[in-house]
Amino acid sequence: MRLGKVSGISFDLDDTLWPFEVVVERAEATLHAWLLENAPKTASVLPAPQALAQLRAEYERSRPDLAGDFRALRIGSISLALELAKEDVTLADLAYDVFYSARHQVEFFEDVMPALHWLSARFPLVAVTNGNADLRLTGGGEFFRAALSASSVGVAKPEAEIFHAAARAVEVAPAEMLHVGDDYHLDVLGALDAGFQAAWLVRRNRLEIARVEKNTREPHLTIRDLSMLCEALGGPGSLS
């Protein structure tokens, strides 16, 4: 696909700028260790760090009213673990702070920082996430004019309004905005439906590219890293 005029770029965060699964696993391991030290009876409820993810998933299914409220879901599941273990439930907020801090210890994909440096010198950048990542804590915030989340806007991707809010944040018409993300449904189709251009970032699963592109007529750019994005926008093929 050949891009039209691009005057601003929005970026997804988790699994676009850094791998998300490893971050959450590490954060849950940190939280688990903290709980065992400060509420030792939780060992009976949470025999391993993986049990935290299972308990959170179960809690989320029981509380559909909290969908998208990651803080409430995490605190709720921690409170449940403390209650089941007959530990002090008031520790939940402190435990969440431990998790939240560890959740922001991300490792950017190696192509990200050089690309953001090049792109931010030429385009206003805005982050658009359904998650709770905070660029002030992860680092990299200096490259972005604004950062929007589903909780701050009140709607989540793929709804058009969150994309339109991103366009307004950098004062660019939707047709001249390019959204970059790893999720085909949330990022690519959501952006296209909002009148944006879209770049689908697929770092690993090439079979998924073939499957989607065989069954879609939606025009979008497909890239395997952000160096390819820079090249498509007139930059060098390699920024390393």
Backbone angles phi, psi at 188, to 5 degrees: -75, -60
Give the sign of the dihedral formed by CA 79, CA 29, CA 53, CA 189: positive
| pLDDT of 218 strictly over 80 | no
Task: Indicate the pLDDT class of residue 170, thresholds 50, 70 and 90.
Answer: very high
What is the phi/psi pair of residue 11, to 5°?
-125, 135
Contacts of residue 126, defined as CB under 8 A and 6 or more positions apart, other chains included, come to: 8, 9, 10, 11, 144, 145, 146, 147, 148, 166, 169, 170
Mean pLDDT, range 130-139, rounded to an integer: 96
Burial class from Cβ neighbours inside 10 Å (0-12, 13-18, 19+) for residue 84 reads middle
Averaged pLDDT for residues 177-191: 96
What is the crossing angle of helices 70-84 and 92-103, to 10°?
130
The size of the chain, in residues, is 240
In this predicted model, which residue has the larger pLDDT, 1 or 12?
A: 12
Report pLDDT digits (tens) over 64-87.
998 888 999 999 999 999 999 999
Average pLDDT, the chain: 93
31-49, pLDDT tens digit by residue? 999 999 999 999 999 999 9
| Predicted pLDDT at 149 | 95
211: confidence class by pLDDT, cuts 50, 70, 90: low
pLDDT 10s digits, 98-129: 999 999 999 999 999 999 999 999 999 999 99
User: For the chain, which domains are there?
Assistant: 8-18+107-232 (3.40.50.1000), 21-103 (1.20.120.1600)
Paired tokens of 90:
């008031």
Name the pTM for this structure: 0.89
